[in-house]
Chains A and B, each alone.
Chain A
């Protein structure tokens, strides 16, 4: 990419798009894992135990942050498109980032 793109709204978009892709890729796996409950509680429990490894836990943490970031970025877009225009839109991007990090922290502490 040639043009200097170092402004908040551009990053807000890029984060929103990349997290969207990550979540879209994750969802089938998520649904597949939960569907093992069709075979009974033990089947689901087995899969959940498998997710207790460090790499998977780290991945989950990233996904929670991704989800929070995608939500926050989405709220920014909705605000820009539907609320009366205000010139402090940049602050929205910053707030979105803050929310995502807070969610990640809460998850890490809870885990």
Chain B
């Protein structure tokens, strides 16, 4: 099977390799074979190999996927396999994308809990069946793989757009009864850089390997920011 693999950085090109087909072969198997037997200079990321960590996310025949969970039979039916780094991110080398802006945006969206208790306080009691907690739980399984970010056209068109993952995480925290930073967070996720630029194209929801729906979370953020008070002065 002929496999085209991206080499170099943004100014690089596709290089072809001839890879033997195996039963139950995944795209990650293909990349591994190339690096071990054909070209040791090929750079790529992976960790768990079993669909838990999201490290192996790449662009396979134009679609962002987890390569360890993508069977060659499923995507290379026409005998064509083209592997590139995740889209919408700077390329470090070959199949490795620079994830820094992805996580920077996560922080900019206030995607971290603002605690309201200390270890000296009683545990917070959160009813798992409450509507807010159910809404948070619907999006809590995100492992930050970047597939949604790579799939999103608004990320492509608007460099400041925080992106589906960051906004999805922000929504889980908006629904977190323990959090004390709601005002700052709602301001952080509003506007052109935030939820208001989402056009419900739903590529994020379509491609999320954990079947989350950032579109749903972002819709929640839109409703939550319907009447935003002026931002409080920072003291």
A–B contact via C-beta, under 8 angstroms: yes
- Which A residues contact B (CB, under 8 angstroms)? 1-5, 7, 9-10, 12-13, 17, 76-77, 80-82, 85, 87, 89
Task: Report B199-217 CB contacts with A as 1/0, cut-off 8 Å.
Answer: 1111101100000010110
Kindly identify which residue among B61, B205, B215 contacts A4, using a CB–CB cutoff of 8 Å: B61
Compute how far the CA of A12 lies from the CA of B203 in the bound complex, rounded to whole angstroms. Answer: 12
User: For A85, what are the chain B residues with a Cβ–Cβ distance below 8 Å?
Assistant: 213, 216, 219
Q: Chain A's nearest CB lies how many Å from the CB of B208? A: 13
Kindly identify which residue among A13, A82, A87 contacts B201, using a CB–CB cutoff of 8 Å: A13
Q: Which secondary structure characterizes the binding site on chain A?
A: helix
Q: CB of B87 within 8 A of chain A?
A: yes
Compute how far the CA of A13 lies from the CA of B199 in the bound complex, rounded to whole angstroms. Answer: 7
Residue of B nearest to A89 (CB): B202
| Complex contact A2–B216 (CB within 8 A) | no
Compute how far the CA of A85 lies from the CA of B151 in the bound complex, rounded to whole angstroms. Answer: 22
User: For A2, what are the chain B residues with a Cβ–Cβ distance below 8 Å?
Assistant: 59, 62, 87
User: For A87, what are the chain B residues with a Cβ–Cβ distance below 8 Å?
Assistant: 213
Q: CB of B223 within 8 A of chain A?
A: yes
- Which B residues contact A (CB, under 8 angstroms)? 59, 61-64, 87, 150-151, 153, 199-203, 205-206, 213, 215-216, 219, 222-223
The verdict on A81 contacting B64 (CB below 8 Å), with A2-B59, A3-B87, A3-B150 known, is no
User: For A76, what are the chain B residues with a Cβ–Cβ distance below 8 Å?
Assistant: 200
Q: Chain B's nearest CB lies how many Å from the CB of A11? A: 9
| Complex contact B63–A80 (CB within 8 A) | no
| Complex contact B201–A10 (CB within 8 A) | yes
Q: Chain B's nearest CB lies how many Å from the CB of A76? A: 8
Compute how far the CA of A2 lies from the CA of B156 in the bound complex, rounded to whole angstroms. Answer: 11
Compute how far the CA of A1 lies from the CA of B152 in the bound complex, rounded to whole angstroms. Answer: 11
User: For A12, what are the chain B residues with a Cβ–Cβ distance below 8 Å?
Assistant: 200
Q: List 16 A-B contacts (CB under 8 A).
A: A3-B59, A5-B203, A7-B202, A9-B200, A9-B202, A9-B206, A9-B215, A10-B206, A12-B200, A13-B200, A80-B200, A81-B223, A82-B219, A85-B216, A85-B219, A89-B202
User: For B202, what are the chain A residues with a Cβ–Cβ distance below 8 Å?
Assistant: 7, 9-10, 89
Q: Chain B's nearest CB lies how many Å from the CB of A41? A: 44
Kindly identify which residue among A3, A17, A89 contacts B64, using a CB–CB cutoff of 8 Å: A3
